[in-house]
A and B are shown apart, each in its own frame.
Chain A
Amino acid sequence: EPEVTQTPSHQVTQMGQEVILRCVPISNHLYFYWYRQILGQKVEFLVSFYNNEISEKSEIFDDQFSVERPDGSNFTLKIRSTKLEDSAMYFCASSEFRGREKLFFGSGTQLSVL
């Protein structure tokens, strides 16, 4: 069964550093998302992306965050200057054009900001 893959599974960085989290969505999917989960809390929406532009973003997704689909397969989340409170599990997800309600999640990247 096709799946969403995320790399790396764990990322440790120093506060103020830039990080890029990578995702390879399912190949025929057209909608892409990033969610995050701070340890012990609920999963929160960050951003959705379609047709090479952001469709929607939450208030969490401020100017420090950006997303990009640099080629036909990868979907990245960049945090320009990480803060301690950015420490969380970041999930990438994708969905088809038809059946957008069904999200396929990756296994997540655990980001630790020291």
Chain B
Amino acid sequence: AQTVTQSQPEMSVQEAETVTLSCTYDTSENNYYLFWYKQPPSRQMILVIRQEAYKQQNATENRFSVNFQKAAKSFSLKISDSQLGDTAMYFCAFMKTSGTYKYIFGTGTRLKVLA
């Protein structure tokens, strides 16, 4: 069975600084997707970034980028130039590409951006 682990329950960062959230996962699959979702206080789930496991190149979306280490089963999220609006819960998620299309979520990291 797949598992997703986020070892940092809470983090804080100064506005305009860079922060990295860690995520590790366990799977025997070779093909899969990884995601980072943001959940602000409104509790809506917002997709931040997505990575296909077969792609070696790390995904980037504006200030958000990932460091995907397939062999180490690590998928960290880097937020550059942190903004107050980045304050949220961040969830890492895993999805196989065959048989099932359900997400397996980690327990989340609560990020607070300080003014």
Interface, chain A (partner B; CB < 8 A): 31, 33, 35, 37, 41-45, 48, 55-56, 58, 89, 91, 93, 95, 100-103, 105-108, 110
Contacts and interface: CB of A to CB of B under 8 A. Distances in A.
Contacts of B46: 105
Interface residues of B, number: 21
Interface stretch (B16-24, B64-72, B79-87, B105-113): B105-113
Contacts of A48: 100-102
A58 to B, nearest CB: 8
Contacts, number: 52
A103 B104 CA distance: 12
Given A89-B43, A91-B45, A107-B42, A101 B106 contact: no
A101 B107 contact: no
Given A43-B93, A101-B101, 5 more contacts: A45-B104, A101-B50, A101-B97, A107-B43, A108-B44
B101 A100 contact: yes
Interface of B: 33, 42-47, 50, 91, 93, 95, 97, 100-108
Consensus secondary structure, chain B interface: loop
Contact of B103 (A89, A103, A108): A103
Contacts of A107: 42-44
A41 B45 contact: no
15 contacts: A31-B101, A42-B108, A43-B93, A43-B103, A44-B105, A48-B102, A55-B101, A56-B102, A95-B101, A100-B101, A101-B101, A102-B47, A107-B43, A108-B43, A108-B44
